[in-house]
Amino acid sequence: MKWFGLNRTRNGLKSKIDWSSHLPKHIAIMMDGNGRWAKRRGLPRSAGHYAGMQTMRQTISMCHKNGIESLTLYAFSTENWKRPKDEVDYIISLVSEFVQETNVRELNENNIKVFFIGDISKFPEVTQQAMRKVVDETEENTGLKVYFAMNYGGKSDIIQAVRSIVKTKNEEEITEEEFEQFLYTGNNPCPDLLIRTSGEKRLSNFLLWQSAHTELWFTDEMWPDFNEELLYASILDYQNRKKRA
C-alpha cells in the first residue's frame, strides 16, 4: 500500500479543530513503546520497530496532509547504543530501508524535506550514505520538514553547540538567540507540541533546550498504535490550551 495514499475516514476529532488559528507549526514525537507492543503480541522486538516505522511513515503523511510545517522524530537516542547489538543493528537497518528509492520518490512527490539531527558520524558508512542521499534528494523541497533525531541527545546537542559557539563568538555576543543557531535544530523554530506515546512522561534527553516552552502531550497507546485520531486529539488539546492562555 502506498503510504501517501492513506485515506482514513475516522475524522471525528478533525472536525472539532479550528484549522484557522492556534495550530502547532512544529510537532516533535517520542515514538515510544515498540518493544512492549511486540511483547504483548508474542513477537520479537524487531517486529515492534518495523511496525513503528510503518506508523512513522503514516504520521509523516498525516502531518503533511494537515499542513504541519515541521516534524521532529526521536528515532535513536544516544542511550539506545546500550541495547543489545542485534536490536541496534536492526533499528539502524530500518534507516536504509526507509531511504529506498520508492520512499524518496514519494517524499519528493509530496514536497517533503528531510534532515537528520544528532551525531550521525557514529553510524556505519553505508547508513550515513543513505542518510545523505535522502537529505540531498529532498533538498529542494519546500513543504513539511522532517527531522529524524538519530544518535541524538539533548545534553550532547548543548555540548556540541557550546564547543562550536566558543570558537566563533566572543563572550558578550553569546545570547540565547545566537546560541540556538548552534544547536542541531539551527534556525528551525522550537517545537510547539511534543507528543510521547506508551504512557511514559519524561523528556528522556530529547530536545532539552528546544522544549523550554513546548506543550507536552502524552498517550498510553504504544507507538505502533498511534493514529490519526490521536494526532487530532493532541492538536485539539494544544489548541484549547493556547486559546485559554
List residues binding ligand FPP (CB under 6 A).
31-36, 49, 52-53, 56, 75, 80, 91, 94-95, 98, 148, 198
Rounded Cα distance, 239 and 159, in Å: 33
- 32, 34, 151, 188: the catalytic one is 32
Q: What is the CA radius of gyration of the chain?
A: 18
Task: For the CB of residue 176, give the shortest distance to ligand FPP in the complex, in Å.
Answer: 30
Residue nearest ligand FPP, Cβ-based: 35
Catalytic member of 7, 11, 18, 80 = 80
Q: Which lies closer to ligand FPP via its Cβ, residue 88 or residue 216?
A: 88
Q: At CA 225, angle to CA 11 and CA 83, rounded to 5? A: 150
Instruction: Write out the DSSP string of 52-116.
Output: HHHHHHHHHHHHHHTT-SEEEEEEEEGGGGGS-HHHHHHHHHHHHHHTSHHHHHHHHHTT-EEEE
- Return d(Cα 33, Cα 44) in angstroms, integer: 13
Beta carbon of residue 214, minimum distance to ligand FPP (angstroms, whole number): 20
Q: Do residues 146 and 114 touch, judged by C-beta distance below 8 A?
A: yes
Closest approach of ligand FPP to the CB of residue 78, in Å: 12
Among this protein's residues, is 80 annotated catalytic?
A: yes
Tell me which amino acid residue 190 is: C
Told to judge if 11 belongs to the known catalytic residues of this protein, a careful annotator would answer: no
How far is Cα 240 from Cα 16, in angstroms, rounded to an integer? 11
Place of cell 479543530: 17
Choice between 17 and 104, CB closer to ligand FPP = 104
> Least CB distance from residue 94 to ligand FPP, whole Å?
4
Q: Looking at the DSSP assignment, which residues form a beta bridge with residue 218? A: 196
Q: Which of residues 31 and 183 has its CB atom nearest to ligand FPP in the complex? A: 31
Q: Which is nearer to ligand FPP, 24 or 52 (CB)?
A: 52
User: What is the nearest approach in angstroms of ligand FPP to the Cβ of residue 48?
Assistant: 6
- Alpha-carbon distance values, 60 to 73, 125, 136 (Å): 10, 26, 19
CA dist 46 and 88 (Å) reads: 10
Catalytic (active-site) positions: 32, 80
